Amino acid sequence: MAKILIVDDAAFMRMMVKDALKKGGYEDIEEAVDGVEAVAKYKESHPDLVIMDITMPNMDGLEALKAIKQENPDSQVIMCSAMGQESMVIEAIKSGAKDFIVKPFKPDRILSTVTNIIG
């Protein structure tokens, strides 16, 4: 089963994503609270997929995405953004994100996106 890293500074959002993934049968899930922790955990555990918020303190999701892509160009990253952040989403896709999910999102959307990317 795939290892997934959830990155969001809001504990509630991490919990929501984690619950959706667990309902879909994904059990090997790690969490990080910002981009700095995300990059460190990525280097340490090499997850199959990263689901990451764009707006976070210390290091935002775009910076973390670029650092993860530098570490592993084949990394699979899904970005999450709030409504109205279209320019950030475009930059994320250009920087190598596989997909994006707009917040607030439904658990089904998370699962279908994850399944499309890692099966």
Q: Which residue has the higher pLDDT, 82 or 95?
A: 95
Under CATH, domain 3-106 is a member of which superfamily?
Response regulator (3.40.50.2300)
Distances (CA, A) of 101 to 1, 10, 40, 43, 76: 22, 16, 23, 24, 14
**CA angle 18–20–23, rounded 5-degree value:** 105
84 pLDDT exceeds 70?
A: no
Q: What is the pLDDT of residue 102?
A: 85
Q: Which residue has the higher pLDDT, 87 or 30?
A: 30
Residue ranges covered by each domain of the chain: 3-106
| Cβ contacts of 71 within 8 Å, gap of 6 or more | 39, 42, 43
The secondary structure element, H or E, covering residue 99 is: strand 99-103
**Cβ pair 55, 81 in contact under 8 A:** yes
What is the arithmetic mean of pLDDT over 37-45?
Answer: 98
